[in-house]
């Protein structure tokens, strides 16, 4: 249990549980964010496997059991289960369509992770071999989206990945969370994470599904750009806007037949005529 400088009385609850179960270890740190909390937890972990549960979420009693059995039965390196997306009152607000149990070779699983649909880039809802995480740090410079910037490095080590359709993780969505309310600053953090993924993918010769992955990356970049432009003035975040514009150059090589005419047009419009693009999406 990593206490990231909590002030809500959590300590009383987990101390009661620790008295009942000596396996529970408590690590306290000044409030430094989820990336540092995860890094400290991984470093302190002594088990053969690691899984995550975020602070406001909860899991079914057999969460770890199902993940472990999946991993052992398929001789896999990573096991995945589904989640229910709920509000703070327990109402299901999004129920992702589930599929039957699937087993992927590592490269296929990595491609699906980069597509970010069948396998999504959050660390929870998964069980990993601990060795996969021991030499990988979640970037503490990012206040959010540190998972998106990290998980592909973990999946790149896997030979076999198994996924179940059981919904055992309860992901609580808060209206005021950083990831759901993208301020210009948090949007820029997302941009940095997206570019980490893109640079990795460009250097990977074994990842397939180029067209779908490229479109997913471009879609996210344009979404981030719109959030920043619509919430800032002309004199705000000048350096960051120019950095994003320059990064678009890497995507100009993709033909419209691969990424679609809309993305093809918007990439060029912002790269060559940023003021016109800004005016267009602001109206």
pLDDT digits (tens, 9 = 90+) for 162-210: 999 999 999 998 776 555 567 999 999 999 999 999 998 888 766 666 8
Same domain, 167 and 197: no
Query: What pLDDT sits at residue 99?
Result: 64
Which of 157, 166, 259, 236 is closest to 200 using CA atoms? 157
Which of 142, 124, 50, 115 is closest to 85 using CA atoms? 124
Query: What pLDDT sits at residue 160?
Result: 97
Same domain, 147 and 207: no
Q: In the structure encoding, which two tokens stand for residue 38, read together?
A: 């995860």
Same domain, 158 and 191: no
Residue 19 falls inside a structural domain:
no
160-176 burial, b at 16+ Cβ within 10 Å, e below that, comes to: bbbbbebbbbbbbeeee
129 and 77 in contact (C-beta within 8 Å)?
Answer: yes
Query: What pLDDT sits at residue 210?
Result: 80
Beta strand segments in 157-217, E:
160-172
Count of domains in the chain? 2
Same domain, 165 and 190: no
Taking CB atoms within 8 Å and a gap of at least 24, the contacts of 31-37 are 31/4, 31/5, 32/4, 32/5, 32/140, 33/4, 33/140, 33/143, 34/4, 34/138, 34/144, 34/146, 35/137, 35/138, 35/139, 35/140, 35/142, 35/146, 36/4, 36/138, 36/140, 37/2, 37/4
Same domain, 80 and 125: yes
CATH number of the domain that residue 68 is part of = 3.90.550.10
The SS3 call for residue 19 is helix
- Which are the contacts of 21, defined by CB distance < 8 A and separation ≥ 6? none
230-250 pLDDT, tens per residue? 999 999 999 999 999 999 999
Query: What pLDDT sits at residue 181?
Result: 67
Residue where a domain terminates, one of 130, 147, 172: 172
Query: What pLDDT sits at residue 90?
Result: 86
Query: What pLDDT sits at residue 276?
Result: 96
Residue 205 falls inside a structural domain:
yes
Query: What pLDDT sits at residue 130?
Result: 96
Distance CA 55, CA 37 (A): 11
Query: What pLDDT sits at residue 31?
Result: 92
Radius of gyration of the chain (CA): 20
Spell out, as residue ranges, where the chain has pLDDT lower than 70. Answer: 97-99, 176-181, 205-209
Residue 40 falls inside a structural domain:
no
Same domain, 161 and 197: no
Which of 87, 224, 239, 217 is closest to 144 using CA atoms? 224
Same domain, 223 and 150: no
Q: Which domain holds residue 110?
A: 47-172
Residue 152 falls inside a structural domain:
yes
Residue 139 falls inside a structural domain:
yes
Same domain, 61 and 92: yes
pTM of the prediction?
A: 0.89
Same domain, 131 and 233: no
Q: Tell me how many degrees the CA angle 137-21-13 measures, rounded to the nearest 5.
A: 75
Query: What pLDDT sits at residue 38?
Result: 94
Query: What pLDDT sits at residue 4?
Result: 94
C-alpha torsion 93→34→4→175, nearest 10: -30
The crossing angle, in degrees rounded to 10, of helices 274-282 and 261-272 is 120
Same domain, 140 and 226: no
Same domain, 151 and 236: no
Chain-centroid distance, C-alpha 162: 18
Distance CA 187, CA 143 (A): 11
Q: Per this entry, what is the length of the chain? A: 283
Residue 179 falls inside a structural domain:
no
Residue 2 falls inside a structural domain:
no
Query: What pLDDT sits at residue 207?
Result: 62
Residue where a domain terminates, one of 151, 172, 193: 172
Residue where a domain terminates, one of 128, 151, 172: 172
| Number of Cβ within a 10 Å radius of residue 146 | 25
Residue 16 falls inside a structural domain:
no
Same domain, 108 and 193: no
């Amino acid at each position: 249990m990593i206490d990231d400088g909590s002030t809500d009385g959590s300590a009383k609850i987990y101390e009661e549980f620790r008295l009942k179960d000596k396996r529970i270890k408590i690590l306290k740190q000044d409030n430094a964010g989820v990336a540092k909390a995860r890094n400290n937890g991984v470093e302190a972990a002594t088990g053969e496997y690691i899984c995550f549960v975020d602070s406001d979420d909860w899991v079914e009693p057999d969460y770890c059991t199902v993940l472990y059995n999946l991993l052992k039965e398929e001789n896999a390196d990573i096991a995945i289960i589904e989640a229910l997306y709920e509000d703070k009152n327990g109402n299901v607000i999004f129920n992702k369509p589930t599929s039957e149990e699937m087993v992927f070779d590592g490269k296929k699983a990595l491609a699906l992770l980069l597509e970010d649909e069948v396998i999504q880039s959050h660390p929870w809802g998964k069980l990993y071999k601990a060795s996969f995480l021991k030499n990988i740090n979640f970037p503490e410079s990012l206040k959010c989206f540190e998972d998106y910037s990290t998980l592909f490095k973990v999946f790149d080590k896997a030979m076999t990945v198994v996924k179940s359709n059981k919904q055992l993780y309860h992901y609580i969505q808060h209206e005021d969370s950083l990831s759901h309310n993208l301020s210009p600053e948090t949007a820029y953090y997302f941009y940095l994470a997206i570019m980490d993924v893109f640079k990795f993918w460009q250097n990977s010769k074994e990842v397939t599904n180029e067209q779908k992955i490229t479109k997913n990356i471009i879609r996210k970049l344009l979404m981030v750009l719109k959030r920043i432009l619509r919430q800032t003035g002309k004199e705000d975040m000048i350096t960051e806007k120019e950095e994003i514009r320059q990064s678009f150059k890497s995507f100009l090589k993709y033909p419209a037949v691969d990424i679609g005419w809309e993305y093809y047009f918007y990439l060029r419009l912002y790269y060559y005529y940023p003021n016109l693009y800004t005016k267009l999406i602001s109206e």
